[in-house]
Amino acid sequence: MDGILPLYKERGMTSFACVSRLRQILKTRKIGHSGTLDPDVAGVLPICIGNATKVVDYLMQSGKQYQGELLIGFSTTTQDLDGEKIAEKPVETEISSKKIKAAMAKLTGAITQIPPMYSAVKVNGKKLYEYARAGETVERPKRQVEIKKFELLSSKYDKKNKQQRIRFNVECSKGTYIRTLVVELAQQLGYPGVMSILTRLKSGGFTLEQTLSLANVQDAVATQTLQQYMYPLDYALKEYPQITIQMPQWKKVQNGGWLSPNELNTNEQEIVLLFDGQVKALYHFDTKNKMYKPTKMFAIK
């Protein structure tokens, strides 16, 4: 079985647990996911099966969209509700929507993030959350991410508990930590905060409406209808120009051969090569040699 399955990951499950369960249901080991979701985050988790595992990296390059809630008034060690409370500051008066939108605007565009200590980012071969659980701190690598859209959906002030809840929508590049983004938003507003809920609406070019739950997948396998919910490998490569090659070029490609621009009649930097209606390889233009060279092979037969 080969293809991409847009899975709905439920809250309370790790991404790894989803893959393990799918291996049992589909009776195959060759399964990978694109873009880990924290256990308490629900939403779109594209799953690559069989030969489609070769395009995991290309699915991860696509932008992502999230919807969630920031709770202002206290902060935790994990930047969400799972951690221990480390700071508290009551919101004495309601924060205006105008002020919230202005702070969001400052966090839109290219920004630098430092991954949270409770994350799977590796430093010196060890995951940050392993350091955190051991009570250790290490220097964390900064990363550049792009926040394409950060918008306010609603805001609700809790006068009794002196807290404020902000519902938001975010469109961002891969590698963005939404927990870190919204905690920084709270800090911009002068308060500690935590991410209280998050759902991924879009990833790998898939939307929430296209997803199947694990129960749906099990039912589809039982009724032998799963294939109609699967997407072909080339779905992950739809942003690249496609070139259909003929037998002489295909023989070269099978051996990892280079192709000239004249043979392909193109001047694109990266192209997907099709033969006999199937995606065979991704090639890129080598400016030094003035030739197209293989970036990734998907099939040689």
Domain 3-62+204-235 superfamily per CATH: Pseudouridine synthase (3.30.2350.10)
Q: How confident is the model at residue 228, as a pLDDT?
A: 93
**pLDDT score of 300 more than 80:** no
**pLDDT score of 200 more than 90:** yes
Average pLDDT of span 65-91: 95
* pTM of the full structure: 0.88
**What secondary structure, in 3-state letters, does the chain show?**
CCEEEEEEECCCCCHHHHHHHHHHHHCCCCEEECCCCCCCCEEEEEEEEHHHHHHHHHHHCCCEEEEEEEEECEEECCCECCCCEEEECCCCCCCCHHHHHHHHHHCCEEEEECCCCCCCCEECCEEHHHHHHCCCCCCCCCEEEEEEEEEEEEEEEECCCCEEEEEEEEEECCCCCHHHHHHHHHHHCCCCEEEEEEEEEEECCEEHHHCECHHHHHHHHHCCCHHHHCECHHHHHCCCCEEECCHHHHHHHHCCCCECHHHHCCCCCEEEEEECCEEEEEEEEECCCCEEEEEEECCCC
What are the pLDDT digits (tens) for 262-278?
Answer: 989 998 999 999 999 88
Q: How confident is the model at residue 124, as a pLDDT?
A: 76
User: Which residues belong to the active site?
Assistant: 38
Average pLDDT of span 74-90: 93
Which segments of the chain belong to CATH 2.30.130.10? 240-297
Of the ranges 110-119, 238-247, 292-301, the best mean pLDDT one: 238-247
Domain 240-297 superfamily per CATH: PUA domain (2.30.130.10)
Q: Return mean pLDDT, the chain.
A: 92
Please list, residue by residue across 165-187, b when 16 or more beta carbons sit within 10 angstroms of its beta carbon and e when fewer do.
Answer: bbbbebbbbbebbbbbbbbbbbe
Here the tokens at position 283 are 């090639």
Average pLDDT of span 187-195: 97
Which segments of the chain belong to CATH 3.30.2350.10? 3-62+204-235, 65-198
Which residues make beta-bridge pairs with 141?
none
Residue 130's pLDDT band (boundaries 50, 70, 90)? confident
Single-letter residue type at 273: L
Question: What architecture does CATH give domain 65-198?
Answer: 2-Layer Sandwich (3.30)
What are the pLDDT digits (tens) for 206-219?
Answer: 999 999 999 999 99
**pLDDT score of 28 more than 80:** yes
Residue 224's pLDDT band (boundaries 50, 70, 90)? very high
Nearest to 115 by CA among 40, 203, 177: 177
Nearest to 176 by CA among 198, 146, 210, 201: 146
Q: Which residue has the tokens 């992502």?
A: 64
